[in-house]
């Protein structure tokens, strides 16, 4: 293993950080209208700090008709009234910083709402000054009655939407009310980059880039090649029987990643970062970052969503990610977010496995992203399609119900309400999500809220929450865990049971190592620690207990225990 070289003081903060994703609509409602809001989030910042997370990523709360709950923006500079005011937004940024924490905003650069003033202008006539802000084309075949080409949206079906008023079609990569912007128009690019600068200037520390892989479409508007793939996957975003050659991961989008990074790097003290929601093979995703990290700082790696929670499968995945994202690149494992089945579903709703996932997530190399509620072990919350609020569910109504669990196993969710339940804070009215006299929450409370809530788990050292907190604290105090290189170790026992790796951080001043042993079985597994170098302090920490023990001799891993031996060999 080579040394990390960079001095601790030279390490960018975002490489060592930990991120907690808040879906603002579902986190905390202070005003009592049943919808979470920014003042509600401010009320709960002390909890996030207590948990031990440094950075908060907020899903969008800008002005929006909320047809896709904020991912359809009608004004990037103002706040949707149900979430609060600009003043609340500034206060939130300040309050986060006052606690020594960082904040990431969600930037939807690819498209706007169809209610954005640009689009209202654009669709008003063919010669409007904003017409070219979006992608308009004539239809083809007899009298323009068919879409301009065969391109499919990310959700299947043609992504072209017909506008009768001007007798042309506009392109939407996602839902019809989310028209794509035309980045080949320099005015569009300039305006969007100014918007990015605006929020960085307001003190935002990082940006999550929504469906960044769709930004540029091929200027030829040629048909996409046909393929045999029906269902898109995280490493092959084509599907619906075509390759997304001209609609996703265009070379111009890769170039734009570097241009955007240049803009973000205009801001320093502190430095900022961008993390992309992009889909493609590991090689392609690495290109987004650039060979030496001059593009997107991080990209989400969704393959972890589909990887079985087993020692061998995860070992293979770690090997792949390590090979594809060596230093100075940095992998970003995804275990859940506001679009995906709750992670507990893949864990068979087993709390012991959830405690082990906390150990894996906080010890593997890469920036951990924790989706709100996952730190409690909240289960997936199936909801009837008939009452769904998510616009996607309408689209997927035709899929027979019996197939939904299999799709969820692949990380695909057709009703995203199911992972957006109000955060359960305590067992009282509205689970503490909203004041007792508030309107009904916008989505039904999670059925486990009465007992799987923050108040109950805070008191319980055996809770999933306690494991998350323990592992976060351990990671925060260890340079090896937060910034060290990773090497897979031969498992000390049956490789189907134990996953093991070593993290090493080294610079001219320090040498720290952490050996990680994760027991993916329901039986006890003895491990031999006598091979560890002697003569230095070594302590064994566990996801299951607060008190470290001396790490020498034989240790018996409990079922689903994650143990970390920390060694500081700084002379």
Q: Which residues bind ligand GLC (CB under 6 A)?
A: 68, 71, 108, 174, 210-211, 277, 338-339
Return the number of the residue (170 or 505) whose C-beta is nearest ligand GLC: 170
Active site residue 210: yes
Q: Which two tokens stand for residue 495?
A: 């490789």
**Options 94, 167, 266, 494, the catalytic residue:** 266
In the complex, what is the shortest distance from the CB of residue 210 to ligand GLC, in angstroms, rounded to a whole number? 5
Return the number of the residue (15 or 338) whose C-beta is nearest ligand GLC: 338
Strand pairing report for 498-506 and 511-519: antiparallel
In the complex, what is the shortest distance from the CB of residue 171 to ligand GLC, in angstroms, rounded to a whole number? 14
Return the number of the residue (108 or 254) whose C-beta is nearest ligand GLC: 108
CB 41 within 8 A of CB 52: no
In the complex, what is the shortest distance from the CB of residue 570 to ligand GLC, in angstroms, rounded to a whole number? 42
Closest CA to 60 of 16, 111, 15: 111
Return the number of the residue (64 or 449) whose C-beta is nearest ligand GLC: 64
Q: How far apart are CA 148 and CA 21, in angstroms?
A: 39
* CB within 8 Å of 33: residues ≥ 6 apart: 82, 438, 439
Rg from Cα positions in the chain? 24
In the complex, what is the shortest distance from the CB of residue 442 to ligand GLC, in angstroms, rounded to a whole number? 16
In the complex, what is the shortest distance from the CB of residue 69 to ligand GLC, in angstroms, rounded to a whole number? 8
In the complex, what is the shortest distance from the CB of residue 174 to ligand GLC, in angstroms, rounded to a whole number? 4
Q: Which residues of 230-253 are buried (b: 16+ CB within 10 A; e: fewer)?
A: eebbbbbbbbbebbbbbbbbbeeb
In the complex, what is the shortest distance from the CB of residue 355 to ligand GLC, in angstroms, rounded to a whole number? 27
Q: How far apart are CA 393 and CA 403, in angstroms?
A: 14
Q: Three-class SS of residue 9?
A: helix
**Position with the least CB separation from ligand GLC:** 71
Return the number of the residue (6 or 407) whose C-beta is nearest ligand GLC: 407
Return the number of the residue (417 or 561) whose C-beta is nearest ligand GLC: 417
**Options 210, 277, 418, 507, the catalytic residue:** 210
200 CB neighbour count, 10 Å cutoff: 18
Closest CA to 392 of 430, 347, 339: 339
Return the number of the residue (339 or 374) whose C-beta is nearest ligand GLC: 339
Q: How far apart are CA 489 and CA 159, in angstroms?
A: 47
Q: Three-class SS of residue 113?
A: coil
CB 374 within 8 A of CB 336: yes
User: If phi over 0 gives left and psi between -120 and 50 gives alpha, with beta otherwise, what is residue 167?
Assistant: left
Q: How far apart are CA 449 and CA 95, in angstroms?
A: 28
* CB within 8 Å of 49: residues ≥ 6 apart: 99, 100, 101
In the complex, what is the shortest distance from the CB of residue 177 to ligand GLC, in angstroms, rounded to a whole number? 10
Q: How far apart are CA 547 and CA 525, in angstroms?
A: 20
Q: How far apart are CA 6 and CA 9, in angstroms?
A: 8
Return the number of the residue (285 or 471) whose C-beta is nearest ligand GLC: 285
What positions carry a catalytic annotation?
210, 266
């Amino acid at each position: 293993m080579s040394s990390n070289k960079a001095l601790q003081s030279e390490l960018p903060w975002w490489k060592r950080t930990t991120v907690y994703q808040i879906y603002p609509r579902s986190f905390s409602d202070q005003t009592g209208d049943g919808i979470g809001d920014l003042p509600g989030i401010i009320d709960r910042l002390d909890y996030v700090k207590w948990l031990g997370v440094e950075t908060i990523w907020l899903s969008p709360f800008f002005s929006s008709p909320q047809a896709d709950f904020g991912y359809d923006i009608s004004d990037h500079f103002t706040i949707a009234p149900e979430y609060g005011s600009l003043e609340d937004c500034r206060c939130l940024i300040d309050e986060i910083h006052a606690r020594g924490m960082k904040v990431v905003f969600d930037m939807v650069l690819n498209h706007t709402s169809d209610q954005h003033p640009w689009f209202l202008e654009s669709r008003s006539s063919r010669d409007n000054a904003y017409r070219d802000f979006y992608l308009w084309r004539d239809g083809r075949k007899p009298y323009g009655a068919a879409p301009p080409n065969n391109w499919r949206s990310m959700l299947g079906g043609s992504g072209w939407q017909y506008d009768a008023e001007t007798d042309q079609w506009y392109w939407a990569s996602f839902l019809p009310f989310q028209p794509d912007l035309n980045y080949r128009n320099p005015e569009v690019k300039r305006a969007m980059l100014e918007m990015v600068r605006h929020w960085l200037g307001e003190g935002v520390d990082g940006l999550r880039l929504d469906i960044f892989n769709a930004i540029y479409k091929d200027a030829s508007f040629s048909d996409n090649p046909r393929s045999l793939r029906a269902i898109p996957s995280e490493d092959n975003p084509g599907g619906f029987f075509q390759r997304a050659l001209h609609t996703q991961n265009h070379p111009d989008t890769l170039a734009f990643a570097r241009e955007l990074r240049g803009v973000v790097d205009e801001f320093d003290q502190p430095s900022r970062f961008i993390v992309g929601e992009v889909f493609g093979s590991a090689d392609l995703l690495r290109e987004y970052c650039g060979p030496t990290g001059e593009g997107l700082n991080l990209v989400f790696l969704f393959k972890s969503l589909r990887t079985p929670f087993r020692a061998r499968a995860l070992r293979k995945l770690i090997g792949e990610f390590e090979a594809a994202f060596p230093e100075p690149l940095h992998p970003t494992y995804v275990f859940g977010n506001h679009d995906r089945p709750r992670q507990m579903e893949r864990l068979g709703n087993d709390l012991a496995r959830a405690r082990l996932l906390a150990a894996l997530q906080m010890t593997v190399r890469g920036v951990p992203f924790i989706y709100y509620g996952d730190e409690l072990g909240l289960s997936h919350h199936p909801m009837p399609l008939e009452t769904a609020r998510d616009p996607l569910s309408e689209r997927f109504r035709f899929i027979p119900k019996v197939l939904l669990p299999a799709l969820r196993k692949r990380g695909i969710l057709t009703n995203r309400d199911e992972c957006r339940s109000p955060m359960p804070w305590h067992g009282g009215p509205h689970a503490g999500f909203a004041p007792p006299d508030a309107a009904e929450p916008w989505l039904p409370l999670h059925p486990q809220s009465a007992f799987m809530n923050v108040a109950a788990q805070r008191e319980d050292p055996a809770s999933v929450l306690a494991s998350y907190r323990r592992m976060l604290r351990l990671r925060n105090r260890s340079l090896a865990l937060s910034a060290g290189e990773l090497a897979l170790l031969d498992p000390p026992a049956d490789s189907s049971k134990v996953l093991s790796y070593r993290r090493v951080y080294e610079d001219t001043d320090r040498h720290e190592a952490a050996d990680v042993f994760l027991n993916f079985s329901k039986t006890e597994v003895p491990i031999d620690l006598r091979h560890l170098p002697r003569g230095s302090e070594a302590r064994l920490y566990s996801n299951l207990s607060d008190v470290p023990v001396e790490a020498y001799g034989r240790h018996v891993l409990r079922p689903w225990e994650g143990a970390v031996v920390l060694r500081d060999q700084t002379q």
